[in-house]
Amino acid sequence: MNIRRMLTPAFALALAWAGFAHATTSNLQSPAEYTPTVTFTLKTDVGAFGMGFRGVGGAIDGQLNPTLKVPAGAIVQINLIDGDGSMHNLRLPDFNVLSNDVVGKDASTAVVFRADHDGSFDYFCNIPGHRAAGMDGKLVVGKAEAAPKATAADISRAPDDLPPPVGDRAPKHLEFNLTTEEVTGQLANGTTFTYWTFNGKVPGPMLRARVGDTVTVSLHNDAHSLMNHSVDMHAVTGPGGGAAVMQVPPGQTRSFTFKALKPGLYVYHCATPMVAQHIANGMYGMVLVEPADGLPKVAHEFYVMQGEIYTTEPFNTHGHLQFDVNKLLAEQPTYMVFNGAVGALTTDHPLKAKVGDTVRIYFGVGGPNKTSSFHLIGEMFDDAWAWGALANRPEHDVQTISVPPGGAVVTDVHFEEPGKYILVDHALSRLEKGLAGWVEVTGPKDPSIFRAGN
């Protein structure tokens, strides 16, 4: 049934109470008692940007995923119109609201609920994969400044936070300093977790050297830590990758020196028992050992790592979550993330490029357990150095590449067409556990490469 022209407040409220809008609203007592005081209309949209909700009418007209602002205590009606023909719905979990699915162009529904608590809350499409594709916005209740601040530190490392290329130079002696810190960080909106980190971020800092360099690594364990920590570097030739001499108690510092013998992209991680727990809690990063003559130049370089988080509480639970050793041993992660947190590479730190750019992604899997099928939706990897083995010739025109836990790959992508490209693990159920990133490409379109039909 197409109800697009019938969505008056009274009619929508009747729909909600009849169950058609599936608005489970215990704070509304009867259909006669309440009439919506604020009404919004959202129309689904699919384009080069991905998927989204487009505002219709009023102050939100034409806006993508508009922020909906309402007074505290308002009765809110949101009309949802299917603008593209795909199946969609609308969910606001903080108000226990889930609309009916709309299926077919111009199909529509409505939800009505009381905004009975202040703050900033998510609305999104609940169809698998749609939120990760961009169907995600905010409802702000009360004064905008009353929206809750981040409940903990942002532990996610921005993908452009990496050192510049070493290039063609003679070998030298490098010194790297790492500090292990146990910090409460924001895992998702309204959700926190106790991370164990290198230098306060996940992943730890990228370390960059040249083959033939001599490297000294110092590891300081913060005095506030509760655990011993260490570092095992896959770029190291020596006992435990250095971990044999780097078991560091809280407040102490230890170091070792190694020769970078072989070029490649290598993972490093904590190797203190239980090793898998230390890794799952965020203790991983990468070392890039460049070939003697450096790597081909590109417009942008990005640093991305995939990890798993194991919590007692279910996915999307708000509050502070507890680590779950049984789920870890069963290899059943609650969350799967790029750069430490849900949204780290989407809403927080999307990768950005322009048409004509060649982008290099240094990608690794901290794990500790799951192999990644690394894929960029809408593009191919023009060059891919499998296993991070930079002494080998790259593979060309690769659609998806397998990266095991503790492994890495170097990929180059040349962008010919603007749009939003989605980084995923092609084990796509993992999208629903938080595993997605965006590459936002701007510039002119080329209809000889891609154009929409009728």
The answer, yes or no, to whether residue 418 has pLDDT greater than 50, is yes
Query: What average pLDDT does the chain have?
Result: 90
pLDDT confidence of 132, banded at 50, 70, 90?
confident
The answer, yes or no, to whether residue 54 has pLDDT greater than 90, is yes
pLDDT confidence of 33, banded at 50, 70, 90?
very low
What average pLDDT does this structure show over 129-153? 77
pLDDT one-digit tens code per residue, 370-412: 999 999 999 999 999 999 999 999 999 999 999 999 999 999 9
pLDDT confidence of 151, banded at 50, 70, 90?
low
Element spanning 327, H or E: helix 325-329
Predicted pLDDT at 213: 98
The separation between CA 338 and the C-alpha centre of its own chain, rounded to angstroms, equals 5
pLDDT confidence of 425, banded at 50, 70, 90?
very high
Straight-line distance from the first to the last Cα atom of the chain, in angstroms, rounded to the nearest whole number:
25
The answer, yes or no, to whether residue 7 has pLDDT greater than 60, is no
Predicted pLDDT at 317: 87
Q: What are the residues whose beta carbons fall under 8 Å from the beta carbon of 152, sequence distance 6 or more?
A: 183, 184, 185, 186, 192
Predicted pLDDT at 22: 40
Which tokens go with 101?
């699915």
What average pLDDT does this structure show over 35-60? 89
pLDDT one-digit tens code per residue, 81-94: 999 999 999 999 99
The answer, yes or no, to whether residue 417 has pLDDT greater than 60, is yes
Q: What are the residues whose beta carbons fall under 8 Å from the beta carbon of 112, sequence distance 6 or more?
A: 12, 13, 16, 21, 23, 25, 28, 34, 36, 75, 76, 77
The answer, yes or no, to whether residue 110 has pLDDT greater than 50, is yes
Predicted pLDDT at 4: 36
Predicted pLDDT at 238: 94
The answer, yes or no, to whether residue 26 has pLDDT greater than 70, is no
Element spanning 442, H or E: strand 437-442
Q: Where in the chain are the domains?
A: 4-146, 150-454
Q: What are the residues whose beta carbons fall under 8 Å from the beta carbon of 6, sequence distance 6 or more?
A: none
By DSSP bridging, strand 400-403 and strand 408-414 are unpaired
DSSP letter for each residue of 60-74: GTT-BSPPEEE-TT-
Predicted pLDDT at 307: 98
Predicted pLDDT at 214: 98
Would you call 11 helix, strand, or coil by DSSP?
helix
Q: Do domains 4-146 and 150-454 have the same CATH topology?
A: yes
The answer, yes or no, to whether residue 30 has pLDDT greater than 70, is no
**Could you give the percent of the chain with pLDDT greater than 90?**
81
Tell me which architecture the domain covering 150-454 has in CATH.
Answer: Sandwich (2.60)
The answer, yes or no, to whether residue 9 has pLDDT greater than 80, is no
What average pLDDT does this structure show over 415-434? 94
Predicted pLDDT at 453: 84
Higher model confidence: residue 238 or residue 48?
238
The CATH number of 4-146 is 2.60.40.420
What average pLDDT does this structure show over 6-27? 40
Predicted pLDDT at 48: 74
Predicted pLDDT at 6: 36
pLDDT one-digit tens code per residue, 56-86: 988 899 999 999 999 998 999 999 999 999 9
CA dihedral 55, 58, 59, 63 (to 10 degrees): 20
Predicted pLDDT at 432: 85
